């Protein structure tokens, strides 16, 4: 540890405390997971549905694409309804009408306000106390059973081929006969009922439902709890305090300005001969941009489905390429190309760590890993097609087809293969570290880099800790270990360590500065990032302690992001520190974009969703998509492309970037992302938020609301941003292709002007 002992102890202390909280919170998630009753029965003891019926419904839901077609408990896609809120509202309305006709001989809407108030009170008492007599055998009233029987056929017919619902399916971007098997559709309805039951039934011993009163539903007073208000205020206080302490610590810890760093006259990395494994990374760049271009075209396809749910500019395609499948591929291709770029960055640095030479058989390992990535990507995509086409038998779906859980959609078999590929990458990296640690000199920077790589390699495995029939609240805990902790946590630390390692080896920062800043930055990111995982779980069936931890620490995630403007300036300045740095201008500008979008997409738009009170109303709306696009591409997308541009720059050292092409790519990608957000996603999300606050989530996601003419126009307007973004993607892809396939007789080749002069 040496002079960095204090830095390491801070990081160790943060990891100990935060993972203790994450583990204790996980135990609470398991303990308090919403029950799946063994039986729902009527007053005579007749069975209405069983636990097995509900779990079969969960499996049936997975075969439809799960979270890629509408959402459950607020998590998933945005075009179709949130099925939890939708079922709940339909059932409540059905109950009110049944009772109104039984008592008054007319429908609920025809009653006087006092008569309606009496029925609403009876409704609330029945629904909110449903679990008071036990959670294993639950007795349903005759009225509620009638309401269930009235509502269930809607979903059975909607997911089938009933011509009455063709237009509705089109508006929801559902293909006809989404779930062909009638029995599976009936089980699906049981699953949706159960999610509505936990969202309307008080947890025994409390006055809040299993989902902390989510979703907003005025008919049974599903409104924010007192704890929701308390921890929302606390999150804002912690944010202000965190920003204040960060600025205070930064200001008072500043020492007198150090002597100006003497930047090398030539690029130090060009003095190291490229190894065979580094030269082999060109095909990784090609794979990255191929998947990137595929992903953005799929994204445009998905966006178009929100205005033509069954067609693409009049061409009927939904039966073969339904919305759920295209959206799955859109998200999975993004994860594949971003991960591939990160793997390539690590593999490029390995020979440098190893003293400028390849470990034995390193190129072979690099080649095998590249082939494995293609097999997993293509294989999982084909399997998902067969799964959602229902060609694959339903009992094989979870393992080989589609898990149904957003971001971890690929079947468990393919998920395991992907994890094996990541472990292979970890082994290839580790072979370089072994020799690196034997070299003389300080090893603290190498240690934090190695630790970040190990975490990236290992924590993806957390997505294997749930199964097909795992309670959805427990599944969400592990899913967010991957989506939040693996991607937003350890990828962030890996990127910081990689930046420090690269800039130090380029001679642009002092070793002491790079090492100290990286260790402390890791501590800051993980302080909020690890327990902040729980802010995704406020309403998935967890208790108040989970909300408290998630709200408090997720606010701290934003704190280090407030200084990213200065980081962006530092990245920008690096290109002016030496003439040879001009050759790295475009990778550095992409890193500048990372800092900007980290502050805006992850910071501003992320905190927009963090307080429990805000998320109570806007979870599952287009406001979530704002954060998702700005953070996933704005941060990790630009970072991945920056890594690829840096790699191809060095494996083709005598070739220059095409400034016109790169300028087009950089500004089109940024402008396209801004246009997507400000012309479509954000205004639609804000308008939905108003509807959710005033009427309920069911209305903000309903067919009648989303098909209003001006909202449809806003979704059409998004096409402008999509086209601009696609142009940027094509430009950067073409630049990478040109460099990878560049020949020595190319006009862009400067035989007498090597890159380091």
Q: What does 442-488 look like in DSSP terms, one character per residue?
A: --HHHHHHHHHHHHHHHHGGGGGS--TTS-HHHHHHHHHIIIIIIII
Give the strand pairing for 39-41 and 137-139.
Answer: parallel
> Per-residue pLDDT tens for 261-320?
666 777 676 667 899 999 999 999 999 999 999 999 999 999 999 999 999 999 999 999
Segment 345-363 shows an average pLDDT of 92
What is the predicted pLDDT for the residue at 619?
A: 95
Q: Is the CA virtual torsion 228, 17, 462, 634 positive or negative?
A: positive
CA distances from 708 to 83, 172, 544, 701, 703 (A): 20, 14, 37, 12, 9
Angstrom distance (rounded) from CA 278 to CA 354:
12
Angstrom distance (rounded) from CA 713 to CA 727:
22
What is the predicted pLDDT for the residue at 242?
A: 85
Give the strand pairing for 137-139 and 315-316.
Answer: unpaired
> Per-residue pLDDT tens for 369-411?
999 999 999 999 999 999 999 999 999 999 999 999 999 999 9
Segment 490-502 shows an average pLDDT of 85
DSSP at 238: H
Six-digit token string for 203: 């947890």
Indicate whether 236 pLDDT > 50. yes
pLDDT band at 753 (very low <50, low <70, confident <90, very high): very low
Task: Check if the beta carbon of residue 295 is closer than 8 Å to that of residue 337.
Answer: yes
> Per-residue pLDDT tens for 646-704?
999 989 888 889 999 999 999 999 999 999 999 999 999 999 999 999 999 999 999 99
Angstrom distance (rounded) from CA 310 to CA 155:
19
> Per-residue pLDDT tens for 311-343?
999 999 999 999 999 999 999 999 999 999 999
Cα 756 to chain center, whole Å?
40
Angstrom distance (rounded) from CA 558 to CA 525:
9
Q: For 57-61, 548-552, 556-560, 607-611, which range has the lowest pLDDT when averaged over its residues?
A: 556-560
Cα 544 to chain center, whole Å?
24
Sole residue written with tokens 């006809």: 176
Angstrom distance (rounded) from CA 175 to CA 323:
8
Segment 529-548 shows an average pLDDT of 96
Angstrom distance (rounded) from CA 264 to CA 260:
12
Indicate whether 466 pLDDT > 90. yes
> Per-residue pLDDT tens for 718-732?
999 999 999 999 999
The residues, any chain, with a CB within 8 Å of residue 32's CB and separated by 6 or more, are 203, 541, 542, 543
Domain ranges of the chain: 33-211
| Cross-strand pairs, 40 | 49, 138
What is the predicted pLDDT for the residue at 575?
A: 61
Indicate whether 637 pLDDT > 50. yes
What is the predicted pLDDT for the residue at 503?
A: 80
The residues, any chain, with a CB within 8 Å of residue 23's CB and separated by 6 or more, are none
Segment 225-241 shows an average pLDDT of 94
What is the predicted pLDDT for the residue at 260?
A: 57
| Mean pLDDT across the chain | 91
DSSP at 514: H
Task: Check if the beta carbon of residue 311 is closer than 8 Å to that of residue 390.
Answer: no
> Per-residue pLDDT tens for 563-616?
655 555 565 666 666 677 778 889 988 988 988 898 898 889 999 999 999 999
Residue 418 φ/ψ region, left for φ over 0, alpha for ψ in the -120 to 50 degree band, beta for the rest: alpha
Indicate whether 193 pLDDT > 50. yes
Regarding predicted confidence, which is higher, 510 or 623? 623
Query: Within a 13 Å sphere around the CA of 140, how many CA atoms are in the beta-carbon half?
Result: 24
Indicate whether 487 pLDDT > 90. no
> Per-residue pLDDT tens for 416-430?
999 999 999 999 999
Candidates 729, 651, 653, 741; CA nearest to 366 is 651
What is the predicted pLDDT for the residue at 756?
A: 37
Percent of the chain with pLDDT over 90: 76
What is the predicted pLDDT for the residue at 160?
A: 97
Regarding predicted confidence, which is higher, 410 or 499? 410
Report long-range pairs for 475-478 (Cβ below 8 Å, ≥24 apart). 475/405, 476/73, 476/75, 476/536, 476/537, 476/540, 477/26, 477/29, 477/30, 477/537
What is the predicted pLDDT for the residue at 572?
A: 60
Instruction: Tell me the three state secondary structure of residue 39.
Output: strand
Instruction: Tell me the three state secondary structure of residue 75.
Output: strand
What is the predicted pLDDT for the residue at 243?
A: 81
> Per-residue pLDDT tens for 99-146?
999 999 999 999 999 999 999 999 999 999 999 888 899 999 999 999
Percent of the chain with pLDDT over 70: 93
What is the predicted pLDDT for the residue at 351?
A: 93
Cα 725 to chain center, whole Å?
20
pLDDT band at 492 (very low <50, low <70, confident <90, very high): confident
List helix spans (H) across 636-708: 638-651, 659-676, 682-694, 697-700, 703-706
Residue 448 φ/ψ region, left for φ over 0, alpha for ψ in the -120 to 50 degree band, beta for the rest: alpha
pTM listed for this prediction = 0.94
Segment 527-552 shows an average pLDDT of 95
Indicate whether 92 pLDDT > 90. yes
Indicate whether 748 pLDDT > 50. no
């Amino acid at each position: 540890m040496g002079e960095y002992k204090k830095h390491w102890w801070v990081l160790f202390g943060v990891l100990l405390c935060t993972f203790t909280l994450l583990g204790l919170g996980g135990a609470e998630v398991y303990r308090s997971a919403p029950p799946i009753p063994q039986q729902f029965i009527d007053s005579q003891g007749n069975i209405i549905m069983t636990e097995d019926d509900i779990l079969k419904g969960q499996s049936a839901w997975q075969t439809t694409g799960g979270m890629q077609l509408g959402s459950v408990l607020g998590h998933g896609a945005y075009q179709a309804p949130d099925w939890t809120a939708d079922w709940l509202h339909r059932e409540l309305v059905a109950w009110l009408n049944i009772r109104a006709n039984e008592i008054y001989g007319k429908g609920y809407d025809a009653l006087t306000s006092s008569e309606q108030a009496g029925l609403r009170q009876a409704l609330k008492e029945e629904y909110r106390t449903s679990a008071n007599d036990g959670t294993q055998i639950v007795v349903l009233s005759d009225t509620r059973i009638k309401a269930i029987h009235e509502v269930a056929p809607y979903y059975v017919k909607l997911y089938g081929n009933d011509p009455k619902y063709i237009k509705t399916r089109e508006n929801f971007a559902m293909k006809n006969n989404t779930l062909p098997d009638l029995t599976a559709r009936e089980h699906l309805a049981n699953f949706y009922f159960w999610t509505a039951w936990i969202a309307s039934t008080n947890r025994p011993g409390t006055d809040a439902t299993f989902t902390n009163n989510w979703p907003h539903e005025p008919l049974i007073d599903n409104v924010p709890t007192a704890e929701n208000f308390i921890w929302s205020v606390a999150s804002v206080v912690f944010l202000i305090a965190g920003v204040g302490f960060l600025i205070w610590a930064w200001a008072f810890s500043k020492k007198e300005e150090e002597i100006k760093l003497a930047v090398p006259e030539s690029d130090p990395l060009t003095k190291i001969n490229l190894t065979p494994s580094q030269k082999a990374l060109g095909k990784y760049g090609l794979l990255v941009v191929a998947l990137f271009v595929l992903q953005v075209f799929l994204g445009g396809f998905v966006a178009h489905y929100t205005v033509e749910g069954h067609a693409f500019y009049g061409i009927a395609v939904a039966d073969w390429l339904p919305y759920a499948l295209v959206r799955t591929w859109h998200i999975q291709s993004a994860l594949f190309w971003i991960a591939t770029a990160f793997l390539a960055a690590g593999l490029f640095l390995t020979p440098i760590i190893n003293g400028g030479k390849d470990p034995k058989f390193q190129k072979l390992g690099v080649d095998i890993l590249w082939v494995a990535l293609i097999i997993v990507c293509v294989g999982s995509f084909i399997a998902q097609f067969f799964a959602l086409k229902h060609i694959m038998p339903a009992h094989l779906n979870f393992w080989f087809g589609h898990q149904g859980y957003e971001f971890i959609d690929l079947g468990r078999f393919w998920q395991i293969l992907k994890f094996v590929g990541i472990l292979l990458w970890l082994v290839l990296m580790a072979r370089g570290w072994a020799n690196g640690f034997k070299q003389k000199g300080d090893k603290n920077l190498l240690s934090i880099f190695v630790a970040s790589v190990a975490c990236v390699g290992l924590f993806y495995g957390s997505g294997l800790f749930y199964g097909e029939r795992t309670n959805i609240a427990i599944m969400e805990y592990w899913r967010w270990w991957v989506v939040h902790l693996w991607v937003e946590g350890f990828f962030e630390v890996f990127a910081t360590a990689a930046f420090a390692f690269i800039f130090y080896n380029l001679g642009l920062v002092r070793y002491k500065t790079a090492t100290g800043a990286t260790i402390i930055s890791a501590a800051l990111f993980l302080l909020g990032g690890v327990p902040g995982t729980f802010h995704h779980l406020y309403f998935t069936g967890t208790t108040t302690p989970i909300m408290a931890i998630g709200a408090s620490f997720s606010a701290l995630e934003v704190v280090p992001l407030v200084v990213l403007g200065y980081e962006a300036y530092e990245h920008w300045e690096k290109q002016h520190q030496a003439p040879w740095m001009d050759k790295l201008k475009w990778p550095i500008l992409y890193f500048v974009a990372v800092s900007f979008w980290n502050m805006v997409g992850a910071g501003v738009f992320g905190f927009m969703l963090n307080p429990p009170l805000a998320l109570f109303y806007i979870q599952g709306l287009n406001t979530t998509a704002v954060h998702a696009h700005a953070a996933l591409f704005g941060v990790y997308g630009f970072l991945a492309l920056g890594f690829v541009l840096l790699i191809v720059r060095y494996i083709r050292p005598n070739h220059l970037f095409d400034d016109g092409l790169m300028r087009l790519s950089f500004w089109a990608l940024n402008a396209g992302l801004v246009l997507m957000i400000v012309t479509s996603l954000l205004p639609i999300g804000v308008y939905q938020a108003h509807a959710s606050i005033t009427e309920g989530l069911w209305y903000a996601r309903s067919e009648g609301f989303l098909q209003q003419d001006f909202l449809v126009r806003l979704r059409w307007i998004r096409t402008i941003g999509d086209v601009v973004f696609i142009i940027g993607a094509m430009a950067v892809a073409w630049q990478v292709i040109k460099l990878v396939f560049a020949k020595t007789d190319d006009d862009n080749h400067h035989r007498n002007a090597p890159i380091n002069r």
